[in-house]
Structure 1
Amino acid sequence: MATRLNETERAKLGTTVPGWAPAIDRDALRRDFKFADFSAAWGFMTRVAMAAEKLDHHPDWGNTWNTVRIELSTHDVGGLSEKDVQLAQAIDKILG
C-alpha cells in the first residue's frame, strides 16, 4: 500500500520531477503540456494512459485543444505518494 510522501521526499521533488509543481488547492503535483495541435496532445494522452495502466495509477487530467493539464495525487492516501512520482517520471520519459 502506498504512503504519503514525507517532508524529506517532498524536498527532493524539484530534482526528482523537475517541471512539476505543487497544485494550489490540494496535495498533488501539477504540470501543463502544450503541443502543436490537438492531434499531438491527444497522442500524448494516449501514451500517458498506457503508462498509467502499467503502473495501475491514473492521473486527473484535462485537454483543451493543444494543452493537456495533469494532476497527480494518490486518492487512497489523500495526497502525494511514490506512485505519483513514478507516474510523473514515466510521463517525463514519454516527452523524451
Structure 2
Amino acid sequence: MPRPPRLSPDDVATALAELPMWSGGPDGIERTLELPSFRAAVEAVSVVADVAEQLDHHPDMDLRWTKVRLAVVTHSAGGLTELDLELARRVDALFPARD
C-alpha cells in the first residue's frame, strides 16, 4: 500500500492546532502520556501497539516508569504525513487530556 505524501509546513501547523497534546513540526511530532502507575504505562504501550498494528504505522515509544513518550514520523516520506496525524488522533481518543 502506498504511503501518503509529506505534509506542507502549513498543513502541519493546522493539524497541530487540532492536536494540542502533541508538539513538533514537519519532521515529526511527539506526545508524552502520563499514567498513574508503571503497570498502566506498560498497558498503554500495548494499547498504542494495537492501534499501530491496525494502521500498519509504528511510533517510536519510550517507557520511563509512569510516562510513555511517543514519537511519530513517516520515515519513507521524510516527514509528517496524514498517517501520522491519524495515529495521533487515535492515541488522543484513547488517552484524552487528564484534568
- Give TM-score scaled by structure 2 length: 0.87
Q: Percent identity?
A: 35
Return 5+ residue gaps in structure 1 as ranges.
none
The residue aligned with 2:93 is 93
Moved over 3 A (4+): none
Query: C-alpha deviations, 1:34-76, integer Å up to 9, x for none?
Result: 1111100011111110011001100011101111001000011
Q: CA deviation at 1:7?
A: 2.8
The whole-number CA distance in structure 2 between the counterparts of 1:39 and 1:75 is 30
Aligned twin of 1:11: 13
Where does structure 2 lack aligned partners over 5 or more consecutive residues?
none
The total of aligned residue pairs comes to: 94
Residue identity matched to 1:80: L
Cα RMSD, aligned residues only: 1.5
Output the CA distance in 2 between the equivalents of 1:27 and 1:9.
12
Q: Which residue of 1 aligns with 2:22?
A: 20
TM-score relative to the length of structure 1: 0.89
